[in-house]
Amino acid sequence: MLHLPKPFILASGSPRRAQLLRQVGLSYQITVAEVDEEYNGREPIAFAKELSYKKARAVALSTDYAILLAADTIVVLENRILGKPRDAAEAATMLADLSGKRHEVITGYTIYDRPSDYAVTDYELTQVWFRDLDRDEIDAYIASGSPFDKAGGYGIQDDFGAVFIKRIEGCYYNVVGLPLAKVYNDLKTYIQHPKIDNE
């Protein structure tokens, strides 16, 4: 089990990320970052990494002594970024567009230390193939309310969205919202950096 030398802050309100950290025995506080998530036209990987850094930095300014983790997950379909659907019509359009196609799920994440302001930013990419979806399935899924807090309008975990997916290539947990093994290993390396006060 990983022992962090400082209080650990998750700069995210995602219940899925919180559950994944609990799964590997990490204790944390939650402080939700308030940043502008409007797509700025950057290449998707760069955009996801930039957002994660902005979230980490925003929360870091409110604490003097901690290690922070922030992340941002985006869905990319044919060079188009799909965010969280704003309403049922947008959710239906997203799911119909994803039907029968391959897309990418990218999570940018930043680990940030206070007070040194030392930070590491990285990403993970997973390819996901959807099976062909029936309109009735899409409508029922939207009626459940599940799509509205998820990039791309679906969740791979613990709801009906799981049966939309034919196969994936890459990290499953990345599609959930956090590339768990990569983040865990990066935290292990990170806390050994000379700038981090481990006393």
Quote the CA–CA distance of 55 and 159 in Å, as a whole number: 28
Catalytic residue among 64, 72, 134, 136: 72
CA distance 33 to 60: 9
CB atoms inside a 10 Å sphere around CB 141: 23
How many helices (DSSP H) and strands (DSSP E) are in the chain? Answer: 6, 7
CB atoms within 10 A of CB 44: 19
CB neighbours of residue 25 within 10 Å: 10
DSSP-derived secondary structure letter, 40: -
**Six token digits for residue 47:** 């955009």
Is residue 60 within 8 A of residue 8, CB to CB? The reply is no
197 included as an active-site residue: no
Whether 101 contacts 131, CB under 8 Å = no
Which positions are annotated as active-site residues?
72
